Structure 1
């Protein structure tokens, strides 16, 4: 008769721990947003109104905290990019929408973006999270390219999405780090420019009859 009560307490405790973990992740995002991507565990805990030992209890170390926050943020970015792709009416618009969604999410909090995309020393799990994210996005951006090519599958097709991700990420992160200035494009203009670079890169493979090159 004692087992159900014990199990019930265990379930409630697990639920409490999970809720507390979510609260700490949210608090970490707020702290990083204000303090910067290189904030220490002590600074994060102080900003969250708790002790450093609480964070170590739930996440093990800073790499564990980074991974936990990264899983949430990267998941949200992935959903946003997929949603942006689904609303597009043309392949080109699909690329613009996805690049803009990526830039807009990163711009919401550059500090949080840098916190979750910077690799912790020896943290292969964090690298895996990022690799999975960019591989997923590479798969999504290959779809508009295939539509542009009318279903053709030239040898370069397998390389282009990876190269495109490199361009989007490198240009996007440089844009993100550029100080505000009248000459700095907003995320919409930057997305249009990056998409133009991506399409020009495969322009020779697109029919001259395509509205993309007219």
Structure 2
């Protein structure tokens, strides 16, 4: 399932209509290639000079005039969106497609994908801050890249539920819900990092996996779920302070002295 998925998602269907003018097509191809080159130069400048770098500093770091930069980007917001998507395209998407494997169980797959996403964002705080300051409505995943992640997740959910002879009709709604919630949680965390990174990952895994288990309990069927919503379980006893959980036994054990 995962072979060629990046090409399928990014390539899309061939456009129909009249054949474009040759010179215009060549110019558009050159313009896109130049934008990509300048975006890569901007990413290098941000990594070296920090998130507060200005357009003059970016142009100087690349070795061009600011006029040239504005020839290919309308403003800093446009450049911020380009940086966002380029980071997604070159860093996040390849890691996600590598992480998705048919060989692992669902829990391992869930945790691996969350770790890949969160670590990729956490490793690039300057790029995140630049994209966010350039456009407060943007983040490390723009609307278009969020759509691609949701499509990737949707394909995975449909495949797994088909294997269970389950109902995958809600997979697209679920995909966008998971991607959007994850993005908002990481956006919040990146501002002040109020908890440690491993804690954030654990909480996200706990919440996403609980959602997966809940949906799987009704085999993805909206009708089955609505006919008999699961009851709230009794609270499990929390581990005592200074104790750690034994994952094999499912109970808390004293920490070694």
User: TM-score, with normalisation over the residues of structure 2?
Assistant: 0.58
Q: 1:47 to 1:95 in 2, by over 3 A?
A: same
Q: Which residue of the other structure, out of 178, 201, 209, is the alignment partner of 2:211? A: 201
Q: Which residue of the other structure, out of 187, 197, 208, is the alignment partner of 1:185? A: 197
Whether the 8 Å CA contact 2:76–2:134 is kept in 1: the answer is no
* Structure 2 residue runs without a partner (length 5+): 1-25, 219-249, 251-257
Mean alpha-carbon deviation: is it higher for 29-38 or for 17-26? 17-26
- Cα deviation digits, residues 22-71 of structure 1 (max 9, x gap): 54322211222344445321232234344212212333432332343333
Matches within 5 A, 1:46-125: 46-76=60-90, 77-86=92-101, 89-116=104-131, 120=135
Whether the 8 Å CA contact 1:21–1:58 is kept in 2: the answer is yes
Partner of 1:5: none
- Cα deviation digits, residues 89-117 of structure 1 (max 9, x gap): 11222222222221122122122134346
Partner of 2:160: 147
SS at match of 2:142: helix
Q: 1:35 to 1:206 in 2, by over 3 A?
A: same
Q: 1:112 to 1:171 in 2, by over 3 A?
A: same
* Structure 1 residue runs without a partner (length 5+): 1-10, 209-213
Q: 1:198 to 1:109 in 2, by over 3 A?
A: same
Partner of 2:221: none
Structure 1 or 2, whichever has the larger Rg, is 2
Q: How many residue pairs end up in the alignment?
A: 191
- Cα deviation digits, residues 127-179 of structure 1 (max 9, x gap): 9x822211221233342476268242266544222221122112222232334
1:14 CA displacement: 9.7
Whether the 8 Å CA contact 1:45–1:55 is kept in 2: the answer is yes
1:197 CA displacement: 0.4
Partner of 2:6: none
CA distance in 1, matches of 2:36, 2:159: 39
Name the one with the larger helix percent. 1
Q: 1:130 to 1:21 in 2, by over 3 A?
A: closer
Q: 1:162 to 1:118 in 2, by over 3 A?
A: farther
Partner of 1:43: 57
Q: 1:59 to 1:185 in 2, by over 3 A?
A: closer
Q: 1:113 to 1:207 in 2, by over 3 A?
A: same
Q: 1:14 to 1:138 in 2, by over 3 A?
A: closer
Whether the 8 Å CA contact 1:67–1:116 is kept in 2: the answer is yes
User: TM-score, with normalisation over the residues of structure 1?
Assistant: 0.67
